[in-house]
Amino acid sequence: MGKSSVVIYNVSKQQYPPTFKIFFFLLPISLAITTFLLIFIYIYTTSRVFANPQASPFLEPATNLSLFDLIIPVSTDNEETIPFSIDNTAEDLFFDLPRTASYAKQSQWSVGLGDLFGSGGNNMNNTEIYHDTDIFLEDYKEMNKSLKIFVYPHKPDDPFANVLLPVDFDPKGHYASELYFKKALVNSHFITKDPNEADLFYMPFSIADLRHDPRIGPEGLQDFIKDYIVNISHQYPYWNRTGGADHFYVACHSIGRIAMDKAVDAKENSIQVVCSSTYFVAGYFPHKDVSMPQIWPKEQDPKKLVSSKRNQLAFFAGQVNSPVRAALLKHWRNDTEIFAHFGRLETDDGEEQLRSKFCLHVKGFEVNTARVTDAIHYGCVPVILANHYDLPFADILNWKSFSVVVHYMDIPVLKKILQGISLEEYLWLQSNVLKVRKHFKWNVPPVDYDAFYMAMYELWLRRSSVRVRLSASKEYI
Ligand SMILES: *[C@@H]1O[C@H](CO)[C@@H](O)[C@H](O)[C@H]1NC(C)=O
Ligand SMILES: *[C@@H]1O[C@H](CO)[C@@H](O)[C@H](O)[C@H]1NC(C)=O
Ligand SMILES: *[C@@H]1O[C@H](CO)[C@@H](O)[C@H](O)[C@H]1NC(C)=O
Ligand SMILES: *[C@@H]1O[C@H](CO)[C@@H](O)[C@H](O)[C@H]1NC(C)=O
Ligand SMILES: *[C@@H]1O[C@H](CO)[C@@H](O)[C@H](O)[C@H]1NC(C)=O
Ligand SMILES: *[C@@H]1O[C@H](CO)[C@@H](O)[C@H](O)[C@H]1NC(C)=O
């Protein structure tokens, strides 16, 4: 023992010749300099910031930052027109920079199949439409067999029956998803009348209907929700057991986000199944909440879904109600290949989507609109220009296999990105769009793997692993 420590001491004290010393002094320094140079060369050759100053918003003076992106329009529909000046756009657009790096990387879609099949990384190789097909199909069967939901009961003569009970017609419009879900759920085999058997508890108020109810309106929403939760937590024991963690509600209108402001437990603990799923604002938690697609119901399938000749590169139509759309307008309004129409389109936009390769979904007031599901309905590959959008069913579906995600920063090079996608890759994306179509549809009655069953599966993933049994609740909590 003692001997070996002497040996070590001797080694460390050993005298080296001067050249040897210099070598060990210079080696780390020269390595550091080389590494620095390599990094610099890499950044210089790959970054557009150096290559093309015009394309970089960062180099424009970021004066007069606007909080536009943070303001939640409380009393307007996501699609209503609000006059919007396009002069101060570039700065507004890049206000939310935190995730730029990773998103910019993700949006380098010109990388193509090489990257998809090639380099390793976080399941980058996955070319399937699901993150894990086997697990999904297996789990889905289990969910379908075992998931049980208790719906808080309300009588038809309840003064708020109109917002609490399912509608007896086929819902229409922007926020139809909310009503389709309720209609499908209450008639499904997931319902249990026995709360002891329930995995989850559904609070069946409809945010969109409350907003239109003259007794409530946008101003009265928060108090209504607060009262509703006070009521159920007094009348039933379930809310208090978990602080609402095994409860959920469904909202497609973005006002749902502030509707919970006076019911903090509901916002922080309950599962919020919402269309406006942006993780940029507080109040939406991707691991706890569910992103549901906004779907504009369509009467029937387009006739030329598969056979249609898509000879237009990209299509967009919509109001200029956000900095992102203003940037799109600024760069692409006169383009012959990217057809961007601002304002109401006189012709049938379904026809336009059928003849386009890519259909642009561009953030308006909210990250979500029905454009993503419209595109999928018409077999058009969606291009997502909505930073921080937690895409619908993103924890099940591999969005990279059927869409193109582009960061705002890349609007100036949008055409380059889309043209950089090879025909082979495009056909692959488009065939996957046709495969995921069934997940973005409401059916009456619901059909396996449609939007309803997908939402149920998402809920199942979020059910608590701790089952609280009423009879022995103290032991289980
Ligand atoms: C920024 O706002 C100030 C005050 O409103 C105005 O005087 C100035 O011209 C604005 N700058 C730019 C670049 O728009
Ligand atoms: C991706 O595919 C390559 C080549 O087939 C393989 O070497 C690599 O391990 C894979 N990476 C992952 C994360 O599966
Ligand atoms: C799900 O359950 C319904 C109702 O029991 C049944 O008709 C359907 O076949 C099930 N689907 C799957 C994939 O197990
Ligand atoms: C709460 O309960 C009271 C008393 O039964 C009722 O008047 C009120 O409408 C209920 N409010 C909600 C939001 O359910
Ligand atoms: C639930 O908790 C609230 C607030 O602590 C209390 O007023 C209410 O009585 C409780 N409900 C039940 C059913 O015990
Ligand atoms: C588009 O055309 C209009 C009118 O012809 C012109 O004023 C504008 O500068 C053009 N925009 C672009 C981006 O080329």
Out of 21-25, 196-200, 273-277, pick the least confident: 21-25
Place of tokens 């009655």: 445
**C-alpha 6 – ligand 1 centre gap (Å):** 74
Place 309 in a pLDDT band, splitting at 50, 70 and 90. Answer: very high
Sign of CA dihedral 293, 296, 299, 300: negative
Residue type, 428: W
Q: Which ligand lies nearest to the CA atom of residue 445 in the structure?
A: 3
Best residue among 113, 125, 127, 400 to mutate for probing ligand 2, ranked by most atoms within 8 Å of CB = 125
CATH topology of domain 101-130+302-446: Rossmann fold (3.40.50)
Contact status, residue 387 vs residue 280, Cβ threshold 8 Å: yes
For residue 445, cis peptide bond before it (omega within 30 degrees of 0): yes
HEC readout, 105-123: HHCCHHHCHHHHHCCCCCC
Task: Provide the greatest CA pair distance for the chain.
Answer: 98
pLDDT tens digit string along 151-200? Answer: 999 999 999 999 999 998 888 888 899 999 999 999 999 999 999 999 99
Place 462 in a pLDDT band, splitting at 50, 70 and 90. Answer: very high
Place of tokens 């409860």: 247
**Closest ligand 1 atom to the C-alpha of 87?**
14
Check residue 25 and give its pLDDT.
Answer: 75
Check residue 123 and give its pLDDT.
Answer: 62
pLDDT tens digit string along 402-423? Answer: 999 999 999 999 999 999 999 9
- d(Cα 293, Cα 367) in Å, to the nearest integer? 11
The values of phi and psi at residue 324, to 5°, are -65, -45
**C-alpha 334 – ligand 2 centre gap (Å):** 43
User: Packing angle between helix 451-462 and helix 133-146, nearest 10 degrees?
Assistant: 90
Hey, whose CA ends up nearest to atom 1 of ligand 3?
A: 144
**C-alpha 326 – ligand 1 centre gap (Å):** 19
pLDDT tens digit string along 323-369? Answer: 999 999 999 999 999 999 988 888 888 999 999 999 999 999 999 99
Tokens of 442: 């409401």
H or E element in which residue 384 lies = strand 381-385
Residue type, 342: F
CA angle 161, 144, 241 (to 5 degrees): 60
290-291, strands of its sheet edge to edge: 149-151, 200-202, 247-251, 271-274, 290-291
Q: Which ligand lies nearest to the CA atom of residue 457 in the structure?
A: 3
Contact status, residue 353 vs residue 241, Cβ threshold 8 Å: no
- d(Cα 403, Cα 365) in Å, to the nearest integer? 21
H or E element in which residue 251 lies = strand 247-251
Hey, whose CA ends up nearest to atom 3 of ligand 3?
A: 144
Burial of 153 (0-12, 13-18, 19+ CB in 10 A): exposed
Check residue 17 and give its pLDDT.
Answer: 61
**3-state helix vs strand vs coil in the chain, percent to 5:** 45, 10, 45
Ligand 6 neighbours, Cβ below 6 Å, are 333-334
DSSP, residue by residue, 256-306: HHHHTTT-HHHHHHSEEEES--BTTSTT--TTTSEE-------SS--TTTT
Place of tokens 């620095």: 36
Mean pLDDT (the chain, rounded): 81
DSSP, residue by residue, 55-106: G-GGGS---S---GGG---SSS-TTS-----STTHHHHHTS--TTHHHHHHH
Domain boundaries, the chain: 101-130+302-446, 133-297+455-462
First vs last C-alpha separation in the chain: 56
In Å, how far are 217, 288, 395, 402, 455 from 462, measured between CA atoms?
31, 7, 11, 25, 11
- Higher pLDDT among residues 219 and 7, named by residue: 219
Place 45 in a pLDDT band, splitting at 50, 70 and 90. Answer: low
Tell me if residue 312 falls in helix, strand or coil: strand
Among residues of the chain, what percentage have pLDDT more than 90?
A: 61
pLDDT value at 92 more than 80: no
**C-alpha 177 – ligand 4 centre gap (Å):** 26
- Higher pLDDT among residues 456 and 80, named by residue: 456
Place 474 in a pLDDT band, splitting at 50, 70 and 90. Answer: very low
Q: Which ligand lies nearest to the CA atom of residue 244 in the structure?
A: 5
Q: Which ligand lies nearest to the CA atom of residue 235 in the structure?
A: 5
